[in-house]
Amino acid sequence: MTRGMVMTRVLRNVSDPRRDALHGTVSADPHATPYALLAVAVTIGVHLAFGRRTILSVGAGTAVHVVLVSAV
């Protein structure tokens, strides 16, 4: 999949609450929005910084989100 197709698919899911975990997190706890956005930023940063390794970037973003939501 090209980057444009992936980003379109990701952004399309943001507006569909039935399929979107991010929206469910924000709806359940509005204070978690900055944590979710930070996790997205970490995912993008790791993906670009470490040679576009998808598993590493998704894992890092997920770990950041879980740690932030659990810690607060």
Domain map (residue ranges) of the chain: 3-71
- Look at residue 69 in the predicted model and tell me its pLDDT: 84
User: What end-to-end distance do the CA atoms of the chain give, in Å?
Assistant: 36
pTM: 0.63
Report CA-CA distances (Å) from 36 to 1, 2, 21, 30, 62: 24, 24, 10, 10, 9
The per-residue pLDDT for 36 is: 84
Q: What is the pLDDT of residues 35-54, one digit of tens each?
A: 888 999 999 999 999 988 89
Ranges in the chain, pLDDT < 50: 13
Which pLDDT belongs to residue 20?
A: 54
